[in-house]
Amino acid sequence: MDLEKAMLASAAGLRAQSVRMRVISENIANQASVASEPGADPYRRKIITFQTEPDRATGVELVKVSGVDLDQKEFGKKYDPGNPAADKSGYIKTSNVNGMIELMDMRQAQRTYQSNLNALEASRRMATMTLELLR
């Protein structure tokens, strides 16, 4: 694999992980949301999916975000009979976001982003050294 292809693959990984971190940040920001009225749903966790796509110009398989889906896991319930969004039993729906899972996902996304950044930087250094040798 030549250096240009390595840089393209790393850059695609950076873009994908950047989107992933944005979605995780949204989830974390909305983890404490509750339904606004009886029967309404609170914030639903978003899940990102990836796929590989061939770059026709170079023939390299690049990762890309294929979609952002909603997690169909059940909502939580919290007893709060004084809340206007409470049902007849006094429960309100809470978001299905689990903060610990989001933090673990964020950590993994950060590490993957950093790995892609390191690979991109290494490719750049090798290209620079090659140019220096050719002078």
Q: Which of 79-83, 112-116, 123-127 reaches the highest mean pLDDT? A: 112-116
* 93 or 131, higher pLDDT: 93
Contact (Cβ atoms closer than 8 angstroms) between residue 37 and residue 92: no
Predicted confidence (pLDDT) per residue in 29-41, tens digit: 999 999 888 888 9
The whole-model pTM stands at: 0.86
Q: What pLDDT is attached to residue 38?
A: 85
Strand partners, 70: 46
Task: Using the predicted structure, report yes or no on whether residue 124 has a pLDDT greater than 80.
Answer: yes
Does position 129 have pLDDT exceeding 80, yes or no? yes
User: Would you tell me how many other CB atoms lie within 10 Å of the CB of residue 129?
Assistant: 10
- Rg (alpha carbons) of the chain, rounded to whole number: 22
Instruction: List, for residues 75-93, the tens digit of each pLDDT value.
Output: 999 999 999 999 899 999 9
Compute the half-sphere exposure of residue 18: CA atoms within 13 Å on the CB side of its CA: 9
The predicted structure's pLDDT at residue 2: 84
Q: What confidence score (pLDDT) does residue 58 get?
A: 87
Residue 107: count of CB within 10 angstroms of its CB: 11
Q: What is the per-residue pLDDT for 37?
A: 87
1 pLDDT exceeds 70? no
What integer is the mean pLDDT of 121-126? 92
Consecutive H or E run containing 79: strand 76-79
- Average per-residue pLDDT for the chain: 93
